[in-house]
Structure 1
Amino acid sequence: MKYDKTFVLSDIHGELAKFKELLQYWKPNEENLVILGDLIDRGEHSLEVVQLAMDLQETYSEQVVVLKGNHEDMLSIFLSEKDYETGDWYFNNGGNRTCESFTHYSFPLYFHSYEERANKMLQVSNKEIQFLKQLPLFYEFGDTLFVHAGINPHLRDWRKSVEKDFLWTRGHWNHPNETGKTVIFGHTPVRHIHDSDDIWISKCKSYIGIDGGVVFKGQLNGIVIDKKGQILDKYKV
């Protein structure tokens, strides 16, 4: 990436106003920007959040990285399967809000099958959906590793972690970090790790959790970190 400092945030979940508010602290002339996935679901403005992320990546192509989260994975599975079981699973985990947003709130959900809902989303917001499908699972930044959920801590080579580890795992922070990197992750609201919505740092300082649970009446956290894994600034909105 372009700079030696990176502004990192995670788990926006359609909270557009908070996303814009936190971005005011980002210094695009000095810092890269990494979003650790889960742009969508649960909040009301998933489409606008995705569009803003796309605009940022297009405008600052050398310094903006957006990763895939488990909710982007869920959306992709739903749009592929389009059946009742998958639809029920996805919509009960916030996908109903994304469907409303991606169809411009012009499509009464409860009068249509899951297949019809999926097809309407693909018809109206295909560009945004294709953007989400192709997002990477991780990004290396010097001695720092950015992921959505985590890694498999039992593997000597973290690159051998499977997609499910990067997108869905929890509890890796309870195991020694043998990657040689500081692992920055979202996915698990940090209140479940240390009873606070502020960022969590492990005792060994090699795991940093930043999901402030904004969509659960928490906060949206941002940190500025260097290639050595040192936190330079912290923000919350």
Structure 2
Amino acid sequence: MSLFIIGDVHGCFHTYLKLLDHWEPKTETLIQLGDLIDRGNFSPLTVRLAFETKKVFKYSVHFLKGNHEQMMVNHLKGADKSNLWINNGGKEALAQFKAQNLDPNFYLPWMESMPVFWENQHVVVSHAGFSGIGSPLDLDNPDGVLWNRKPLINLGKLQVIGHTPLLDGKPEYQSQSNSWNIDTGAYKGNCLTGIKLKKDGTFLESISIPTDPKDISDANQPYAGFLKNPLKENLRM
């Protein structure tokens, strides 16, 4: 199976649905590299869709943990003493969950169990990438795969990351580290990007969907009852 890797969604539900229209479940493994939540207007629906997608496509879909999922987990477990998540989109996300009559704690075990990377012999995917500084899988390491913003090391295989928005809205390949950054700033009004690769890391194409204004406009707040079954209505089985 080839790979379809999607960057930081940040609650941009409608944009995410449009990008998922380009996924071929029968021939492509879907990997989302973290930060499904907050910033945009539809975090609860984005989380619910991802959760249901994973249930249906158990072995061919992988949702990785981003730093915003980790911040949400910390908050829900009472471990966020400095209100880091609340001050970085969490306050608005919790209000959205309340408006949708969805309990964020229902998704806590799933989010807590999310892997922090996915790899095969040729490709490794993580939220922020491998810096070579400290333990890369330490959830609190500022230079680890959840938080790193330093240059990446070359792992001898292709890295695909997000986390650091590209202001020009274009995915970027770095030859020195053999890596792609595909965070094209969906919540900033740019676009949401997915990249398609052969399983050996050979580039096939990138697909960028302009951010749907509903996902970021203050005038379009989430409302209860939207898309009662988004999986059935929007994913090709």
Alignment TM class, shorter chain as reference:
0.7 to 0.9
Distance 2:48 2:133 in 1: 37
Establish whether residue 101 from structure 1 lines up as the match of residue 96 from structure 2.
Answer: yes
The Cα of 1:133 is off from its aligned counterpart by 1.3
Code of the residue aligned with 1:129 in structure 2: it is: L
Match of 1:183 in 2: 159
Determine whether 1:152 maps to 2:147: no
- 1:145: Cα distance to partner? 0.1
Distance in 1 separating the partners of 2:136 and 2:47: 29
Structure showing the higher helix proportion among its residues: 1
Report deviation, 1:98.
1.3
**Distance in 2 separating the partners of 1:203 and 1:82:** 39
Instruction: Kindly name which structure, 1 or 2, has the bigger radius of gyration based on alpha carbons.
Output: 1
Matched residue, 2:172: 200
CA distance in 2 between counterparts of 1:227 and 1:204 reads: 21
Separation in structure 1 between the aligned mates of residue 166 and residue 130 of structure 2, nearest angstrom: 17
Output the CA distance in 1 between the equivalents of 2:5 and 2:79.
33
The yes-or-no answer on 1:167 pairing with 2:164 is no
Give the counterpart letter for 1:90 in structure 2.
W
- Tell me how many residue pairs correspond in the alignment: 206
Q: Name the structure 2 match of 1:64.
A: 61
Deviation at 1:160, TM superposition (A): 5.5
The 3-state SS of whatever aligns with 1:34 is strand
The DSSP-based 3-state class of the residue aligned with 1:184 is: strand
**How far off is 1:142 after superposition?**
2.6
- Cα 1:136–1:81 change in 2 (3 A) is same
The answer on whether the counterparts of 2:131 and 2:150 sit within 8 Å (CA) in structure 1 is no
Look up the equivalent residue of 1:86 and give its one-letter code: S
Structure 2 gap ranges (5+): 210-237
Cα distance in 2 between the residues matched to 1:60 and 1:232: 23
**Alignment match of 1:7 (pick from 4, 14, 33):** 4
- In structure 2, the partner of 1:143 is 122
Is the CA contact (8 Å cut-off) linking 1:151 and 1:161 kept in structure 2?
no
Q: In structure 1, what is the Cα distance between the partners aligned to 2:203 and 2:106?
A: 35
- 1:227 Cα deviation from its structure 2 partner: 2.3
Residues 12 and 40 of structure 1 are in contact (CA less than 8 Å); yes or no, is this contact kept in structure 2? yes
Q: Distance in 2 between matches of 1:153 and 1:229?
A: 21
Deviation sequence 1:121-147 (CA, Å, 0-9, x none): 8xx232222211110010112310000
SS in 1 for 2:44: helix
Query: What is the percentage of aligned positions where both structures have the same residue?
Result: 31
Q: Secondary structure at the match of 1:234?
A: strand
1:11-38 superposed Cα distances (whole Å, 9 cap, x missing partner): 1011100000000011111101000000
Q: TM-score, normalised by structure 1?
A: 0.80
Aligned pair partner of 2:86 in 80, 84, 91? 91
* 2:44–2:100 CA contact under 8 A, matched in 1: no
Give the Cα separation in 1 of the matches to 2:114 and 2:133.
25
RMSD over equivalenced CA pairs, Å: 2.0
Q: Secondary structure at the match of 1:168?
A: coil
- 2:29 counterpart of 1:35: no
Q: Which moved more, 1:72-81 or 1:14-23?
A: 72-81
Distance 1:198 1:17 in 2: 20
Query: Distance in 1 between the 2:120 and 2:99 partners?
Result: 37
- CA shift digits 1:32-61 (9 cap, x unpaired): 100000000111111110111111111111
Letter matched to residue 77 of structure 2: S
Q: Residue 153 of structure 1: CA displacement?
A: 2.7
Q: Any unmatched runs of 5+ in structure 1?
A: 107-120
Residue 113 (structure 1) aligns with: none
